Structure 1
Amino acid sequence: MKHLKRAFAGAASTLLAMSSAVFGANSAAPAGSERDIQQIVQSGTIQICSTGDYLPFTHLDLQGNWSGLDIDMAQTLSQDLGVRLDLVQTTWATLMQDLGAKCDMAVGGITITPDRAQQALFSAPLLEDGKAAIVRCEDASQYTSLATIDQPGVRVVVNPGGTNYDFDRANIKQAQILVYPDNNTIFEQLTNDQADVMITDASEIRYQTKNNPRLCGGGDTVDHPFTSEQKAYLIPQGNQGLQQRVNQWLARAENDGTYAKISEKWTGSALTP
């Protein structure tokens, strides 16, 4: 709990005062039907939005099965509240408009950003992260910095609508940006030599390189990322009651080892906020 308190009171405190999001299943609440914690408990169901395309945090397969670190955590939240979990699929491009309209909150590797914090609330931070490069292993010594990546002839692939896209638009000026719509299969663009580099969160790179021996981090960018960021859960703006209840649950999940156990299952190491 002390880790959560430190993170919550630290550098991200300004953002946390203004943040949050929602993601989930097959049924959705009507537009404009934002619910407080009492209404959620009384209904017997919490609707949580997620993109389903961002391992190790969230994944939705072709058979409609959900998995991932934050999906497992969402299940423990529903159990803690004594309600059923209803997962609602969203996209990175529609995440903010779906929050509160289609779901009570959102999970799935969501980065705390000033823009999102102006529109929603965030839970206490879950982990530290940052943008780094993932490449074919034979090119790992070639793409070691933004300067070596942002060169004419280099192909940088990116999924639309999220912080990866925002980062590339702000920082890639000479290399070619290739927008690829399916974040579940985007890494095949690297292994099939359709792109040279993808810039994404170090947490995702660690997961992908662990599971695909052809992919590596570019230089030491995974251990020393281009940016410093935090991930959290997203909650509709003004719903401080739900934010407080989620933070209470997160504190318990850290203290009793739930978060460490689930994060180790998905990342290979027990994470602490």
Structure 2
Amino acid sequence: MSFKFGGALKTLACVAALGCMSSSMAYAETLRVGTEATYAPFEFAAEDGSLTGFDVELIQAIGKEAGYDKVEVLNMPFDGLIPALMTSQIDTIIAAMSITPERAKRVAFSEPYYTSGLSVLILEENKDKYPKVDSLKGKSLCAQIGTTGAMTAETLSPGKVKAFNTEPEAFMELKAKGCEGVVNDRPINLYFLAQTAASDGVTEINEILTAEKYGIAVHKNNKELLEKLNAGLKKLQENGTYDAIYQKWFKLTPTTK
């Protein structure tokens, strides 16, 4: 009796172990990606509710090259992305995230996949009042919380920066004359000016601020995934897929590979 009971326990243990292995294998086939989908043209929700954009298409292509059967892109607040990565709710982040020394202390970054810069949007009626970025020093500014745009705005106007959860909210505040300028990544600013009716009466100060490189973030302990992502990115750059995705969303020649 005791022998049979012990055998049954072993059988159950084996079944459980196999179940765990199967679950682990299935889990490994899906790459869980965190993003903040209000940042067109990098990541945003299409009319049907699906997530799309340059970052979304790029990580899907990288995931395929890396051998994943499925790439699941999850939408969450920008300032919640790194905490979600640290607690294993997601495997990686692609969200137009600038590689900074502060972030690099918490996460590991892939090779840069995009080079950007910051610019400032103001109301057209104020273009003579604010001909240069420095002319906005000490003025009320808007930006998205947790971004390098917010950090730069704070250096221009310490204590006078309104930080919003999304960029559209920052743009709306500018239009409502709640701030004098929006500091943001230039590609996002240009997309806003070109694609939305809400940009009427808004213009860009003709000055590019700090050059920034975007990277894909992973947990510092996940070196295997980092290597897979870097290898996948390199393959896309070599076979022309990266260029095709870039030109689709920016209508320009890539500034970095």
Shorter-chain TM-score bucket reads: 0.7 to 0.9
- How does 1:88-107 map onto structure 2 within 5 Å? 88-100=74-86, 101-107=88-94
**Secondary structure of the corresponding residue to residue 49 of structure 1:** strand
Tell me if the contact between 1:261 and 1:270 (Cα under 8 Å) persists in the aligned partners: no
The CA distance in 1 between the partners of 2:92 and 2:25, in whole Å, is 11
Aligned counterpart for 1:78 among listed residues 39, 43, 63: 63
Are residue 188 (structure 1) and residue 175 (structure 2) matched? no
Taking a change above 3 Å as real, the CA distance of residues 241 and 270 of structure 1, as seen in their structure-2 partners, is same
Contact 1:260 1:270 in 2 (8 A): yes
Q: Is the CA contact (8 Å cut-off) linking 1:70 and 1:109 kept in structure 2? A: yes
The structure 2 residue matched to 1:136, chosen from 100, 123, 127, is 123
* 3-state SS, counterpart of residue 165 of structure 1: helix
Q: Distance in 2 between matches of 1:131 and 1:184?
A: 16
Structure 1: how far apart are the matches of 2:47 and 2:236? 30
Cα drift, residue 161 of structure 1: 2.4
Q: Contact conserved, 2:150 with 2:161, CA < 8 A, in 1?
A: no
Query: Which residues in structure 2 correspond to 1:1-273 (within 5 Å)?
Result: 43-60=28-45, 64-80=49-65, 81-100=67-86, 101-151=88-138, 154-173=139-158, 176-212=160-196, 214=200, 215-218=202-205, 220-221=206-207, 224-225=208-209, 227-271=210-254, 272-273=256-257
| Contact 1:112/1:232 (<8 A) preserved | yes
TM-score by length of 2: 0.79
Return the offset for 1:136: 2.5
Deviation of the 1:121 alpha carbon: 0.7
Q: Which protein shows a greater Rg?
A: 2
Quote how far apart the aligned CAs of 1:57 are.
0.8
The TM-score, its normalising length taken from structure 1, stands at 0.75
**Greater shift after overlay, 205-214 or 71-80?**
205-214
Pairwise CA distance, 1:141 = 4.2
2:214 partner letter: K
CA 1:173–1:185: 2 relative to 1, 3 Å = closer
CA gap 1:62/1:244 in 2 versus in 1, 3 angstroms? same
Q: Out of 108-117 and 137-146, give the one that drifted further.
A: 137-146
Alignment: residue pair count: 228
8 Å contact kept, 1:90–1:98: no
What are structure 1's unaligned runs of at least 5 residues? 1-38
Letter in 2 for 1:94: G
Q: Indicate the percent of aligned positions where both proteins have the same amino acid.
A: 18
Return the offset for 1:179.
2.8
DSSP-derived class of the 1:252 partner: helix
Query: AA paired with 1:102?
Result: Q
- Tell whether the 8 Å contact from 2:110 to 2:217 is kept in structure 1 after alignment: yes
Question: What is the CA distance between 1:61 and its match in structure 2?
Answer: 5.5
